[in-house]
A and B are shown apart, each in its own frame.
Chain A
Amino acid sequence: MSSDTSGFQWFGRGFVALYALFVAFPLYWTLNTALKPLNYIGTFPPTLYPRGFTLDSIVWVLTNSRAVNAITNSLIIASGTTILSVILGALAGYAFSRFASRIDPGGHVSFWLLSTRMFPPIAVVLPIFFIYGQLGLQDTLLGLILLYLTFNLPLTTWLMRDFFDKIPVSFEEAAYVDGYSRFETFRKVVFPLVRPGLVATMMLAWVFAWNEFLFAWIITGNNTSTITTIIPTLIESNQIQWNRIMAMAVVVAIPPTLILIAFRDNIIEGMTLGMTDI
């Protein structure tokens, strides 16, 4: 019995190690390539270490005005859309969770909201392009923030509704009976309990906006390029600047990684909807 268990455990660990390698290798290769000069990148056989180690391409990413602008733009867009979609999504999610029978009998409204995520985004690229042209939103930060908001809002609303559903209504009623107003109740009872979910939702919304390519490529121009739209421009007609592409990838991977590390407990708790405390 015990040997079975430990055998299974060893198998499990081996599998996890293998999977970790599988996931980590491309990341390592990105870093490896970013630290090589361009002329060593295409050599055969490739080297597992950064041969001719140089920080040139990293420095390029951090100093080139186009790259720096793109990073700034992406930060503004991702953060703006995250703040809006989490605030609005949390409010909507709370309403769907607590007043469903009044505002959404039959669940059609919330289903409609979710259904907007069910078709491939490319189906609406063209209409959005023309609508944005009419509204003067092409190539603006606000345009992308609003666009990502429409994509994020169904997600944040549904997630937040699930998190609020996990909190028994009696928790709030008990606070009302004890003399707390609705707002105070939300602040002292609901918010602390829903915080892990809120953080997880924020992260998902942020990462979506940070990583989005298709709409950014179509909507933005020279004024508002984002990180994802800068990278394809490094594929030039006569050469592909692999080192800069990879350096860009390394730099833009840093913020989500930091977020993940900082909030990992909340995120795991939130992602698994595992508010086991309740």
Chain B
Amino acid sequence: MAKVHVQDLTKEYGSLVATDNVSLDIGDGELVVLVGPSGCGKTTTLRSIAGLETPTSGSITFDDVDITDKSPQDRDISMVFQDLALYPHMTAKENIAFPLRAEDGHSESEIDSAVNDIAEVADCDEFLDKKITSLSGGQQQRVALARALVRRPEVFLMDEPFSDLDELLKRQLRAEVVRLQHEFGVTMVHVTHDQEEAMTMGDKLVVMNDGNVAQFGDPDEVFSEPQSLFVAMFIGSPQINRFDCHLSWDGDTAVLDDGEVTFEVDGPLVDALQMARGDEITACVRPQLLNWSDDGSGGDFAVPVTVDVVEKIGTEDVVRCQTPNGHEVTAEVATGVLDEGMEGYLTFTAESLHLFDGHDDDAERLN
């Protein structure tokens, strides 16, 4: 097991910058998830850790040993690829044994028992003798996991292998991976574009955008205190509500006006707003923290809306509403309370407000 440290990693393909000075500190035995939209540099970062890409500049260390220029063979890592990379000309068993056969000095019986042990742990012992092509998607995933873990690597890497699976199987395997990771205590880096997967699996999240680390922190922190507007918009489902406001001052009261709704802010948030560099402020609030109110009371702020669509998701409803001017606001409320066409207010408290300095993705958090 190893600590992984990435320092100022930059990878350029010609004029295209895939990662731009990415730095990460991954603790021993941690499960870190790199998450972000396509092309954000998460896979490049992972492949650099694996040694499959040579960084343009920057360094990578495992346990303070610089491995930047080492080939993948010499890194003691294992990786599950997006397409799994299981070999069709071998059985499941041969695939799992494959990493062990790369090392000298294992007897056949050692390999055999190691394969059987890991197959039992990864729950794929029932189809060890089958060809890869005759296995289902979920079974293949389990074989790929077993192959990656059989050698007890220092660092375990996964490049969104679950993206092709159906939802239920995906959830099962996520839980399985987390269980295995805890059981082996292995340091793990997982890449996904699915923010929900990232939230449920990671000890730490690395939210990436445009080759940069937008935020590095534990899932709760990333969710409740997004450091930039991009993170706020990317993490969380349903997506955070956003009001692009203009800031003006009325004495000590800050007035945020998005052209339709105004929020008069006083109290502790005023200090934050005074730090703003300009008068463009984005105010965001999570759908989970909105409450329905018929008359606009019961919160610090209220937005008048009409219920547009009600999506049932079980114990709660996702309610898509519109302000009179057509700005969409989404709320998550107890099920059965609201019906399409109802008019009223969505209210929220000052504490649930996220303020960002500008309207761009990289606008920084103010409060």
Interfacial residues, chain A to chain B (CB-CB below 8 A): 168, 170-171, 173-181, 184, 189, 192-193, 277-278
Contact = CB atoms under 8 A, between A and B. Distances in A.
Interface stretch (B20-28, B29-37, B98-106): B98-106
- Which applies to chain A's interface (DSSP): helix, strand, loop or mixed? helix
A184 B98 CA distance: 12
Contacts of A180: 73, 102
B122 to A, nearest CB: 16
B72 A177 contact: yes
Contacts of A175: 98, 102
Contact of A171 (B51, B72, B87, B147): B87
B38 interface: no
Interface centre among B50, B88, B103, B133 (most CB of A within 10 A): B88
Contact of B85 (A174, A181, A277): A174
Interface stretch (B2-10, B75-83, B206-214, B312-320): B75-83
B237 interface: no
Contact of A170 (B77, B78, B81): B81
Contact of B73 (A176, A189, A193): A176
Report which residue of A179, A192, A193 has the largest number of chain B beta carbons within 10 angstroms of its beta carbon.
Answer: A179
Nearest to A168: B83
A177 B77 contact: yes
B89 interface: yes
Contacts of A189: 87
A184 B103 CA distance: 12
B81 A174 contact: yes
A277 to B, nearest CB: 4
Contacts of A277: 88-89, 133
Given A193-B89, A277-B133, A278-B88, A173 B81 contact: yes
Contacts of B50: 173, 177
B151 interface: yes
B272 interface: no
A178 B89 contact: no
Nearest to A192: B89
A170 B87 contact: no
Contacts of A179: 73, 99, 102-103
Contacts of A177: 50-52, 72-73, 75, 77-79
Contact of B52 (A171, A176, A178, A181): A176
A278 B83 CA distance: 11
Contacts of B133: 277
Given A170-B82, A174-B79, A174-B81, 19 more contacts: A170-B81, A170-B83, A173-B52, A173-B72, A173-B81, A174-B85, A175-B102, A176-B52, A176-B71, A176-B73, A177-B73, A177-B75, A177-B77, A178-B78, A179-B73, A180-B73, A193-B87, A193-B88, A277-B133
A190 to B, nearest CB: 10
A184 B99 CA distance: 12
Contacts of B77: 177
Interface in B144-174: 147, 151
B263 to A, nearest CB: 50
Contacts of A193: 87-89
Max count, chain B CB within 10 A of own CB: residue among A178, A181, A189 = A178
A269 B133 CA distance: 16
B12 to A, nearest CB: 14
A174 B78 CA distance: 8
